[in-house]
Chain A
C-alpha cells in the first residue's frame, strides 16, 4: 500500500515538473539544437538587446533612487494608513500588464490626465525610450519595495541602538549600519525587479509602442518576429531564458542562507 502511494506521488510530481520544464527545454532544443546557416542575423536582435539592457539599467537606478527612501519610510516610520499605503504600492505586482499600460497611457498620454501639463512643458513621453523606462519602473518597483521594506524592518534594533551609543546618527547610522545589514535584501529585491523589467511586455507595447531600435525591447521583438522570422523570435527567447536563469541563480545566492526567503 505504502509503495503504491509513493509510486503515484512520484508519478504526479513527475507530471507536474515535466509540465513546468518541458516548454523551456523544447525552446532550448529549438534554439541550440539545429545548426543554422551562418546568415547575417536579424539586425533587430542586437538593437533590442541593447535597448533592453540600457532601459532596464536606467529603470533600476530610478527604482533604487526612489524606492530606497520610500521603503525606509514604509518600514520604519509610523503614520496613519501606513499599511494600506504599503499594500496599495504593491498593486502593480498583481495588476495585469495590459491594465498597467492602459493606466499609464490614460495618465501620461497626450490626452491623458497629465498630458496637458507635459505638453506645456514640451515633454513627449509616448513612443520614446522614456516611456519604456517609466513602464518598467511602474511594474518592477514593487518587487524592490517589498524586499527592501522587509530588509529594513529586520535590522536588529539593538545593533542600531549600540551604534547610537557610539555616536552614529542620521545618515551615518543608515549608511554604516542599517544599509549594510539590509544589503542582501535590497540586492535580492533589485534582482527580481530587474527580471520583471526585462520581461515587461504588455504595458510597454500599449504605452510605449513598438519601433525597432527605439521602443522595441526583447519581449516585444519576440512577439513581433513571430510573424516574419521565427528564428529571430527563438534566438531572442533563448537569450531571455538565459538571462532569467542568471537572475534566478543570483536571487537565490543573495537569499539569506538560513531562511526560506521573503521573496
Chain B
C-alpha cells in the first residue's frame, strides 16, 4: 500500500549527497547557519529599543483617538526632533499593559478608576483633569429598531451593545442605566438582558452601530464625528439622566522623558489644546477656555 512519505527527487538526493561529501562543507553550512542566526538577532534586538532619541510614548483612551492625532501633529511641530507615539486602547487595557510592565511617558484615561489603579501600584504620581465628555445613545442611521427614547432600550428583542465591564464607557453607561431606572422607572435588568455583545473599547461599540449589526449602544458624544453622520444617529438623552466623563492625565513614574511628557500635558491644558478638544466635541476642563455650547455633531434620529 502506498503511503504519503517524503519523496525526495532522486536527482536532488544525489546533489545533496555530493555537496555534503565535499570536505568541510557541512562545517561551512553550520558556520553559515550560525552566522545567519547571530545576524538575525543583531537585526531584531535594536528594533525593540531605538538607539536615537527615544520617542515620547503617550497611552491614551480610545475615545481620544481623533483629538490626540491632531495634538500629536501639533506637538511634533513644536518639537521637531521628537517622535510622539500614540498607543490607543480602552483605558483599562492601557492600565493593564502598564501594570504588566509596559513603558510609557504619559497616560490619558477616560476615567479616574484606571488612574487610581495605576497610582496604587506606584506607576504614576499626580494626575490632572484635562477634559470632560458626555454620553450619547447611538443607533444606526436607519434606526432599525425604531428607538425613540432611552426608555425603549428595555424593549424585548432589541440588540444593545455595551463595552466590557472595566472599560470606562461601560461604567458611565451603567450610571446612565441606573439614572433611567431611578428616574424613568425602566428596569435596568430588562435593558441588560438585551445586551448582545460586550466590546473591548468604545470605538468598537461605535463600529457595531455604524455597520448596522446592533440596534443601539452607548458611546461618548465626541465619538460621533462628522464622518459618521450618515451612518449613526443620536437619540437624545435627558440632562438629568446623562453623566459626565472625566479625563485625567499623568506622567508615568518610570518615564525617561518626564520633561517632554510634562510639555505634552502643558499642550493639552493650553488654550490651543483646550480649543482642539472642544473642536472634537469634548468639554474643556480649564475655566479660561470658552464656554461649551453643545456638540455640533449630535443630531436627532429619524422617528
A, B assembled together = yes
Interface contact B33-A209, CB-CB below 8 Å: no
Ordered by A's residue number, 16 sampled pairs between the chains whose C-beta atoms are within 8 Å are: A8-B30, A12-B37, A15-B37, A105-B211, A110-B212, A110-B213, A111-B212, A154-B4, A209-B199, A209-B213, A211-B198, A223-B200, A224-B200, A259-B4, A259-B5, A260-B6
Interface contact B166-A228, CB-CB below 8 Å: yes
Which of the residues A11, A154, A212, A227 comes within 8 Å of B3, measured between beta carbons?
Answer: A154
B92 at the binding interface (Cβ < 8 Å): yes
Interface contact A259-B196, CB-CB below 8 Å: no
Interface contact A262-B4, CB-CB below 8 Å: yes
Query: What residues of A have a CB within 8 angstroms of the CB of B26 in the complex?
Result: 5
Query: What residues of A have a CB within 8 angstroms of the CB of B31 in the complex?
Result: 5, 8
Residue of B2, B3, B26, B212 with highest tally of chain A CB at under 10 A: B3
If over half of A's interface residues share one DSSP class (helix, strand or loop), that class is named, otherwise mixed; here it is loop
B299 at the binding interface (Cβ < 8 Å): no
Interchain nearest-CB distance for A147 vs B (Å) = 10
Interface contact A226-B211, CB-CB below 8 Å: no
> Which residues of B, 121-177, contact A by the 8 Å Cβ criterion?
144, 159, 161, 164-167
**Beta-carbon contacts of A52-68 to B below 8 Å, as 1s and 0s?**
00000000000000000
Q: How far is the CA of A127 from the CA of B213 in the complex (A)?
A: 9
**Beta-carbon contacts of B190-206 to A below 8 Å, as 1s and 0s?**
00000111111000000
> Which residues of B, 5-22, contact A by the 8 Å Cβ criterion?
5-6
B238 at the binding interface (Cβ < 8 Å): no
Q: What residue of chain B has the Cβ atom nearest to residue A208's Cβ?
A: B197
Query: What residues of A have a CB within 8 angstroms of the CB of B221 in the complex?
Result: none
Interface contact A12-B34, CB-CB below 8 Å: yes
Query: What residues of B have a CB within 8 angstroms of the CB of A6 in the complex?
Result: 30
Query: What residues of A have a CB within 8 angstroms of the CB of B90 in the complex?
Result: 227
Which of the residues B34, B92, B208, B211 comes within 8 Å of A8, measured between beta carbons?
Answer: B34
Interface contact A127-B198, CB-CB below 8 Å: no
Interface contact B208-A209, CB-CB below 8 Å: yes
Query: What residues of B have a CB within 8 angstroms of the CB of A256 in the complex?
Result: 3-4
A74 at the binding interface (Cβ < 8 Å): no
Q: How far is the CA of A1 from the CA of B214 in the complex (A)?
A: 68
Interface contact A2-B198, CB-CB below 8 Å: no
Which of the residues B4, B34, B213 comes within 8 Å of A109, measured between beta carbons?
Answer: B213
B246 at the binding interface (Cβ < 8 Å): no
B96 at the binding interface (Cβ < 8 Å): yes
Q: How far is the CA of A2 from the CA of B30 in the complex (A)?
A: 10
Interface contact B214-A127, CB-CB below 8 Å: yes
Query: What residues of B have a CB within 8 angstroms of the CB of A211 in the complex?
Result: 195-198
**Beta-carbon contacts of A137-173 to B below 8 Å, as 1s and 0s?**
0000000000000100010100100000000000000
List B residues at the A interface (Cβ < 8 Å).
1-6, 26-27, 30-31, 33-34, 37, 90, 92-93, 95-96, 144, 159, 161, 164-167, 195-200, 208, 211-214
Q: What residue of chain A has the Cβ atom nearest to residue B33's Cβ?
A: A12
Query: What residues of B have a CB within 8 angstroms of the CB of A105 in the complex?
Result: 211, 213
Q: What residue of chain A has the Cβ atom nearest to residue B207's Cβ?
A: A206
Q: How far is the CA of A16 from the CA of B27 in the complex (A)?
A: 19
Q: How far is the CA of A6 from the CA of B208 in the complex (A)?
A: 57
Residue of B33, B161, B211 with highest tally of chain A CB at under 10 A: B211
A12-B34, A259-B3 given; name 8 further pairs at CB < 8 Å: A5-B26, A111-B213, A126-B214, A127-B197, A228-B92, A258-B3, A261-B4, A262-B4
Q: What residue of chain A has the Cβ atom nearest to residue B29's Cβ?
A: A5
Residue of B37, B195, B197, B214 with highest tally of chain A CB at under 10 A: B197
Report, nearest first, the 7 A-B pairs whose CB atoms are least far apart.
A209-B197, A127-B196, A260-B6, A111-B212, A259-B5, A126-B213, A227-B92
A25 at the binding interface (Cβ < 8 Å): no
Which of the residues B5, B164, B211 comes within 8 Å of A210, measured between beta carbons?
Answer: B164
Interchain nearest-CB distance for B194 vs A (Å) = 11
Interface contact A9-B198, CB-CB below 8 Å: no
Query: What residues of A have a CB within 8 angstroms of the CB of B211 in the complex?
Result: 105, 109, 111
Interchain nearest-CB distance for B165 vs A (Å) = 7
Given contacts A256-B3, A261-B4, is CB(A212)–CB(B96) below 8 Å?
A: no
Q: What residue of chain A has the Cβ atom nearest to residue B197's Cβ?
A: A209
Interface contact B198-A212, CB-CB below 8 Å: yes
A215 at the binding interface (Cβ < 8 Å): yes
Interface contact A209-B196, CB-CB below 8 Å: yes
> Which residues of A, 245-263, contact B by the 8 Å Cβ criterion?
256, 258-262
Interface contact B3-A210, CB-CB below 8 Å: no
Interchain nearest-CB distance for A215 vs B (Å) = 7
Q: What residue of chain B has the Cβ atom nearest to residue A109's Cβ?
A: B213
Interchain nearest-CB distance for A64 vs B (Å) = 21
Interchain nearest-CB distance for A44 vs B (Å) = 11
Which of the residues A9, A156, A226, A261 comes within 8 Å of B30, measured between beta carbons?
Answer: A9
Interface contact B27-A259, CB-CB below 8 Å: no
Which of the residues A8, A109, A215 comes within 8 Å of B197, measured between beta carbons?
Answer: A215
Interchain nearest-CB distance for B4 vs A (Å) = 5
Query: What residues of B have a CB within 8 angstroms of the CB of A127 in the complex?
Result: 159, 196-197, 213-214
